[in-house]
C-alpha cells in the first residue's frame, strides 16, 4: 500500500531531526526485523542503458559521457549502484501512465528503497528487487560487468565518505566476505564503515540521499511536478 501524505510528512519530519540513521546502527547491520524478505523470485529484466533513467530521481542509469550538468564523472560511476524492481505483471510507468513497463530502473540503491517505501512496493509480493554486485563489477566495462543479484540476499556496505550517485553512501555485495574485503581496502578513504542486510535498509527507509525531502514530497503528491523537486547530484 502506498504511503499516505500523513505518513510521508511524518517521515520528512524525522529526516529533518536526524539524517544519520545508517551510521547510528551497530556493526552487525541487523535492524528490528532480522529475516530477509521472502517470496517469488522473478527474473530480472533487460537494462535500458542507452535510454533508461531513475524512476525516483530521474537521473540517467548510465554514466554520462563528458560533462553533465557541469560535472564530469569517472567511467562506470553510475552503473556500480544500478538497481531494479522486476514485476510479475507489467504496469504503467511512473512518469508516463500510457507506457507499460516490466521493471523499474534506479541508479542508486537508496533511490530503489525510497521509491518502494513511498509507493508501497514489497519485495516478494509480485516484484523482485535486484542490485548490482559491486564485488563482480569492473568500472572499465561498466554495463558488461553488471551482475544483478536479489537484493534480499546481498550484503550492503556503508562508507561515511564514500562517493556514489545521489550521495547515498551504499554499495551491494554478493557475499559478506567480499564486502569485508572492500571495506578493509578503503578504510582510510571512507572513514566510518558499516554493514547491513536488505531488511535493515527497509526498516530504516526512507534512506538519506541527495534531495530526498523534495523527492519524497513529489512522489507522495505533495508537490506539483518534477521541477519542484529539482534533480539529484552525486554529492
Task: Please state, in angstroms and rounded to a whole number, the distance separating the CA atoms of residues 76 and 89.
Answer: 31
Q: What is the pLDDT of residue 40?
A: 79
Distances in Å between the Cα of 93 and the Cα atoms of 54, 100, 105 are: 12, 6, 11
Question: Would 196 be classed as within a structural domain?
Answer: yes
Residue 229 lies in a domain: no
Is 126 a member of any domain? yes
What is the DSSP secondary-structure string of 79-91? Answer: GGG-EEEEEEEEE
The pLDDT, as a whole number, for residue 18 is 46
Q: Evaluate whether residue 24 is within a structural domain.
A: no
CA count, 13 A, side-chain hemisphere, 141: 7
Q: Is residue 64 part of a domain?
A: yes
Three-state SS string over 63-81 comes to CCCCEECCEECCCCCCHHH
From first to last of the 235 residues of the chain, give the pLDDT tens digit: 777 766 766 655 555 444 556 765 555 444 333 445 567 799 999 999 999 999 999 999 999 998 888 899 999 999 999 999 999 999 998 778 889 999 999 999 999 999 999 999 999 999 999 999 999 999 999 999 999 999 999 999 999 999 999 999 999 999 999 999 999 999 999 999 999 999 999 999 999 999 999 999 999 888 665 444 444 455 4
Segment holding 155, helix H or strand E = strand 155-159
Q: For the chain, how many residues are written? A: 235
- Tell me the DSSP string of 8-75: HHHHHHHHHH-S-HHHHS-TT---SS-SPP-S--PPPPPP-TTT-B-TTT--BSSPPSSEETTEE--T
Q: What is the pTM of this model?
A: 0.86
Query: Quick check: is 101 in a domain?
Result: yes
CA 143 to chain centre: 17
235 within some domain: no
Cell numbers at residue 90, please?
507489467
- Give the number of C-alpha atoms closer than 13 A to the C-alpha of residue 195, restricted to the C-beta side: 16
Q: Is the separation of the CB atoms in 214 and 172 below 8 Å?
A: no
210 assigned to some structural domain? yes
* Residues spanned by the domain of 153: 5-15+52-222
Number of domains in the chain: 1
End-to-end C-alpha distance for the chain, whole angstroms: 31
Amino acid at each position: 500500500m502506498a504511503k499516505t501524505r500523513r505518513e510521508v510528512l511524518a517521515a520528512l519530519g524525522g529526516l529533518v531531526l536526524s539524517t544519520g540513521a545508517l551510521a547510528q546502527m551497530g556493526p552487525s547491520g541487523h535492524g528490528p526485523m532480522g529475516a530477509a524478505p521472502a517470496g517469488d523470485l522473478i527474473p530480472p529484466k533487460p537494462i535500458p542503458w542507452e535510454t533508461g533513467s531513475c524512476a525516483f530521481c530521474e537521473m540517467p542509469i548510465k554514466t554520462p559521457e563528458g560533462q553533465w550538468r557541469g560535472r564530469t564523472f569517472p567511467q562506470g560511476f553510475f552503473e556500480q549502484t544500478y538497481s531494479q524492481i522486476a514485476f510479475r505483471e507489467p504496469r504503467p510507468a511512473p512518469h508516463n501512465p500510457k507506457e507499460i513497463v516490466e521493471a523499474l530502473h534506479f541508479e542508486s540503491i537508496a533511490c530503489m528503497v525510497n521509491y518502494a517505501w513511498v509507493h508501497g512496493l514489497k519485495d516478494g509480493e509480485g516484484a523482485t528487487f535486484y542490485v548490482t554486485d559491486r564485488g563482480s563489477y569492473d568500472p572499465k566495462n561498466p554495463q558488461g560487468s553488471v551482475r544483478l543479484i536479489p537484493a534480499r540476499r546481498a550484503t550492503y556496505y556503508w562508507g561515511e565518505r564514500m562517493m556514489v550517485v545521489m550521495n547515498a553512501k551504499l554499495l551491494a555485495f554478493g557475499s559478506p566476505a567480499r564486502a569485508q574485503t572492500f571495506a578493509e581496502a578503503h578504510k582510510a578513504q571512507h572513514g566510518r564503515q558499516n554493514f547491513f542486510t536488505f531488511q535493515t535498509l527497509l526498516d530504516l527507509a526512507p534512506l538519506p540521499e541527495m534531495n530526498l525531502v523534495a523527492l519524497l514530497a513529489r512522489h507522495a503528491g505533495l508537490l506539483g511536478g518534477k521541477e519542484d523537486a529539482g534533480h539529484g547530484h552525486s554529492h
